[in-house]
Structures are given as C-alpha cells and as structure tokens.
C-alpha cells in the first residue's frame, strides 16, 4: 500500500517499500530511490510545518520544535510559533502556555501558566510568575477579547469583575447581577438577583407558569423548609394542613404550630416582669398576657372574656367599682342562665364574707300560695330527718380527721314527699343530675430534650358525657341527688310557722 503520510509508515523498515506509489524494494532503479527520497522529504515538510526545525533527542527521549536543546518531553521555542490556532510556550522569551485562537489583547508575557494532568485524570491549571499572578479567562466578541472570569492570587473567583475580594464575586454588566440554576428543562429555573441597593432576591421556578411550584431548602437530603407558590413559609411540613406536624406562616400573616405529644409554643422572658404576648387591633393595644414574678396576668383595655365553643362563658365587669363575674350566653351578657359548677363536677367550698343574695322580688313571681296540708305533712316529716354524717371521699383522704357534717339525705327527702302524695322532682329544693362516665388510659411519655418533650407517667382520667346519645355504649350511667338548703329550710320553716299558728289558735280557744 502506498504511504502518503508520515503516520502511515510502519515501524518495521521492511514494510516501507512504497513511498507515494514509488516502489523502493530491493533491486529498484537508482532513479526510483532518488524520487522516493524527494517524496519522503515532502511528507516531512507537510507533517511538521514549513520552516519549523524539529529535533529528536534520543538520549533523553525528548522532542524539540524550534530548538535543538529540548528541556522537557516537548519543548516548543520561539521559532515554532504560529500566528493563530496554536500552542506557544516561552513565546518571546516569556513563560506562557496559550491554547487556542490568538488574542487581540494577549495575557502578559511575564506571566506563566502550567497545565498538568496526573494519572488519576485530574487536570491542574496554575499561574505563576508575578507575586500577584492570576488565572484569567477571556472570550471575544468580534475582533476584541475581554476578560470574563479570573482566579486571583488569593484564590478568590471573580465573574464579571477583575477585583474579587471574597471567595466568589459575581458582578453584572448593568445595575444587577443574576445566578440561574435549572434542570434539563431550562424554561423552569431558579435565579438569585443582587443589585446596587444591596437587595438579594431568590426567585424559584421563574418562567414556570405551572401551579404548585415552591422554593425548598434541604439538610442532609431531607427537606426542612419550604416557601410554596402562595408565599406560605413552612417548617417541618410540606402542606398547610393544620393537623400535619410542623409550623407555617401564611402569606396572610396567620401563624400555625402543630406538634405531637409536646408543647407547640414556649415563651421565655428573661430578667424582669412584663408582657409575654401583646394583643392589638388596628395598631392599638387591647390586652396582654404578662408574667408578674411567679404569676401570669391577663389584662384588657375593657373586660376579660372567657367563652366556650357554644358561646357560654363569663366576663369580668364592675358594679360600683367592685369586681363582678358576669355570665355569658351566645357570647353576650345573660341573666339567670349560668351555674357555678355542675352536678358531676362540683366546687368544694365557697369562701365569702356574706351569703348569696337570692332574688325575691314579687314582681317576678306568680302562683304565690301558703303551704298545703300535704306540703306541711311532708315538711314536718323532713324536719325530723336531719342527720350527722361524713363524706366518703374525705374519709378516704383524711381518715379519722375527716370532719362531721350536718344535713339531710336527698333520698329520704324524696321518700317523705312521696309519703305525703307529692312528687319531689316538682320542687326546686330537690335536685337530680345524670351523666355518663368512661375511664380512659393515657400511656406514659418518654422525655425528649431535643424536641422539648417532658416525661410523663401513665395515668387514667374520666371522660364525661351529658346525654345518652353522645355517650359510648361502654360508658357507665351516674346519677347524683342533692338539695337546695335555703329553699328546703324555707319549706320546713313555712310548715313550722303554720303549725305554730294552728297550735296558738287552739290554745287561745281552750283558754277562752
């Protein structure tokens, strides 16, 4: 096969018998050898470049281009330079390696650049020479080249600036600069904006018109924080659903905290007493919750109101500058509707300077009448039923130190009324309350200091239901009887007075 390029020649001399179609096998004519040598020289000229001397130092295994004294594996000296699309080393006496098209404004010849690749495939680019040397990256638009990026002698990287003063400095050509990140779909990307006013803006999915985009922040490959497409700020959750553990601040200003088996909010004020929470309406304070030594104070510009889900509750008020607790119904003041305690959940003692005031205005009463003979009979029987007794729960708690009480037994009062032909349930001095109870076990909680969870022992509490419809099938029905002593004593007193009046009349008749 005819050899037309140096690269086609064989390392075995016997195989190189055809040079550009000229047969130089043994026995060929001298003219053929002469022509073959001429063709071979032409090949060498074409392969190495016109006017470029090439020297092979076989002793040191070095190749020199433009020099007969190569100092490294490949040494290219001044005489081997081309004008464009070239590599030059030590050009013009400097220490520079330049790859690619010739720059209109070239890097200084006093600078040195080294490109090295190791056996692991790592590529190292370094600059040396001047004390403040840097690696600079240029691009050209038309006939002029401009620096686009540099790594200075301190290791700072500058993009769009030749004076980076931090690890990474990016400067825009206008009043702002941008960093853009995208996946394979470049129409959906994230941008970081910076401007001359010092404002930094992070924009997620710019250019993406699809609903549901968000900005997410991960730690150790797990999402921890998110800003959703509505501007809600979520921590520890990816949805604004209230019952999902985590917290969020809605774009509207709403803040919601949801935890599992721990406190959702801790407020800690150090050093002095003062507000823990301040409440405002239209920019004006209307109340607060504050700490006062070891107490918590709730204050309001008018009244403090505590209202349940049904609108029932109470508020503070004043009458002649005296504190009053005023009952509420449907969130409004409600007369003659509220109770203190209920039949299943009672207060123990009420401490007061004076007794309760009972309304006794004739204008608010009807069916006013004296006791009937049956009522006098029942009241007389009840007056004989007063007993001494001790409460069982007090004996259980205090033993022999439980005190003795005096009073009536509601069941005996009911029987006395029934014996007289009367129904005790028709009289306000006799009371009966029914509810349903179920014991519920609550498991122990282990302490978790990192998440602010305190240890708690297992315990059992009672769930109460106040209608048979809402009570579960395994709940136990409970009934507690009671009496209103002021009314019952009035009932007994009225009967006693009528009996005394009858006795006095009979005595007067006998004495007359």
pLDDT of residue 120: 62
Provide mean pLDDT across the span 57-77. 72
Q: What is the mean pLDDT of the chain?
A: 82
Ranges 8-17, 295-304, 351-360, 387-396: which has the least confidence: 8-17
Per-residue pLDDT tens for 41-53?
Answer: 776 666 554 455 6
The overall longest dimension of the chain from CA atoms, in Å, is 189
In the chain, where the domains are located:
1-48, 57-258, 265-301, 371-511
Please, what CATH class does the domain formed by 371-511 belong to? Answer: mainly alpha
CA distances (Å), origin 13, targets 24, 38, 44: 12, 18, 17
The pLDDT score that the predictor gives to residue 384 is 95
Q: Average pLDDT of 156-166?
A: 91
Is the CB of residue 214 less than 8 Å from the CB of residue 223?
no
Who wins on pLDDT, 200 or 507?
Answer: 507
Q: Is the pLDDT of residue 215 over 70?
A: yes
CB 288 within 8 A of CB 299: yes
pLDDT at res. 116: 56
| pLDDT confidence band for 7 (50 / 70 / 90) | low
Bridge partners of residue 460, in order along the sequence: 441
With cut-offs at 50, 70 and 90, classify the pLDDT of residue 216. Answer: confident
> Residue 61 above 80 pLDDT?
no
Question: For residues 272 and 292, is the Cβ–Cβ distance under 8 A?
Answer: no
Least confident piece of the model among 202-211, 282-291, 322-331, 476-485: 202-211
- Mean pLDDT value of segment 49-70: 68
Residue 191 has pLDDT above 80, yes or no: no
Q: What is the pLDDT of residue 178?
A: 78
Residue 151 scores a pLDDT above 80: yes
pLDDT > 70: what percent of the chain?
Answer: 81
| Range with the largest mean pLDDT of 185-189, 296-300, 473-477 | 473-477
When pLDDT is averaged across residues 13-21 and rounded to a whole number, the result is 77
Q: What integer pLDDT is reported at residue 449 of this predicted model? A: 78
Taking the C-alpha atoms of residue 60 and residue 50, their distance in angstroms, rounded to an integer, is 26
Which pLDDT tens digit goes with each residue over 424-469? 999 999 999 999 999 999 899 888 877 767 888 999 989 999 899 9
H/E/C letters for each residue in 429-486?
Answer: CEEEEEEEEEEEEECCECCEHHHCECCECCEEEEEEECCCCCCCCCCEEEEEEEECHH
Burial group, residue 65, by CB count within 10 angstroms (0-12, 13-18, 19+)? buried
Q: How confident is the model at residue 197 (pLDDT cuts 50, 70, 90)?
A: confident
pLDDT for position 117: 54
Q: Look at 483 and 193; give whichever has higher pLDDT.
A: 483
**Which is it for strands 112-117 and 123-128: parallel, antiparallel or unpaired?**
antiparallel
For residues 246 and 435, is the Cβ–Cβ distance under 8 A? Answer: no
Instruction: Between 264 and 54, name the one with better pLDDT.
Output: 264
DSSP 383-411: HT--EEE--HHHHHHHGGGPPPEEE--HH
Task: State pLDDT tens for residues 348-398.
Answer: 988 988 888 889 999 999 999 999 999 999 999 999 999 999 999 999 999
Indicate whether 239 pLDDT > 70: yes
């Amino acid at each position: 096969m005819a050899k037309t390029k140096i690269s086609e020649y064989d390392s075995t001399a016997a195989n190189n018998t055809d040079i550009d179609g000229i047969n130089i096998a043994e026995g060929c004519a001298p003219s053929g050898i002469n022509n073959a040598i001429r063709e071979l020289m032409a090949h060498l000229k074409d392969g190495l470049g016109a006017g470029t001397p090439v020297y092979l130092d076989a002793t040191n295994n070095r190749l020199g281009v433009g020099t007969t004294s190569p100092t490294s594996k490949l040494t290219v000296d001044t005489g081997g330079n081309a004008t464009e699309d070239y590599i030059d080393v030590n050009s013009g006496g400097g220490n520079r390696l330049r790859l690619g098209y010739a720059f209109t404004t070239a890097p200084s010849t006093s600078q040195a650049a080294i490109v090295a690749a190791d056996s692991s495939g790592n590529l190292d680019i370094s600059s040396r020479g001047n004390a403040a040397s840097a690696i600079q990256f240029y691009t050209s638009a038309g006939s002029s080249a401009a620096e686009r990026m540099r790594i200075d002698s301190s290791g700072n990287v500058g993009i769009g600036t030749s004076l980076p003063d931090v690890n990474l400095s990016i400067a825009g050509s206008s009043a702002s600069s941008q960093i853009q990140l995208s996946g394979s779909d470049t129409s959906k990307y994230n941008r970081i904006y910076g401007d001359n006013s010092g404002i930094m803006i992070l924009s997620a999915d710019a250019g993406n018109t699809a609903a549901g985009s968000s900005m997410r922040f991960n730690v150790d490959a797990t999402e921890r924080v998110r800003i959703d497409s509505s501007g809600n700020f979520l921590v520890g959750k990816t949805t604004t659903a209230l019952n999902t553990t985590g917290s969020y601040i809605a774009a509207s200003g709403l803040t919601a905290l949801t935890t599992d088996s721990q406190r959702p909010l801790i407020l800690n004020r150090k050093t002095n007493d003062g507000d823990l929470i301040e409440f405002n309406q239209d920019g004006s304070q209307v109340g607060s919750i504050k700490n006062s030594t070891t107490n918590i104070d709730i204050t309001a510009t008018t009244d403090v109101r505590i209202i349940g889900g049904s609108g029932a509750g109470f508020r503070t008020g004043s009458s002649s500058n005296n504190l009053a607790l005023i009952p509420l119904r449907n969130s409004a003041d409600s007369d003659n509707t509220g109770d203190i305690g209920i039949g299943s959940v009672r207060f123990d003692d009420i401490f007061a300077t004076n007794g309760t005031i009972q309304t006794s205005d004739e204008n608010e009463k009807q069916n006013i009448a004296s006791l009937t003979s049956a009522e006098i009979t029942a009241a007389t029987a009840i007056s004989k039923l007063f007993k001494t007794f001790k409460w069982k729960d007090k004996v259980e708690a205090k033993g022999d130190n439980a005190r003795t009480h005096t009073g009536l037994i509601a069941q005996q009062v009911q029987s006395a009324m029934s014996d007289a032909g009367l129904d005790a349930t028709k009289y306000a001095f006799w009371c009966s309350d029914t509810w349903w109870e179920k014991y519920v076990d609550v498991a122990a909680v282990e302490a978790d200091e990192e998440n602010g969870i305190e240890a708690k022992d297992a315990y059992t509490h009672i769930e109460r239901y106040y209608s048979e419809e809402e009570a579960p099938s395994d709940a136990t029905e409970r009934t507690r009887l009671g009496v209103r002593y002021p009314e019952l004593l009035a009932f007994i007193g009225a009967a006693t007075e009528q009996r005394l009046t009858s006795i006095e009349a009979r005595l007067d008749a006998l004495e007359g």
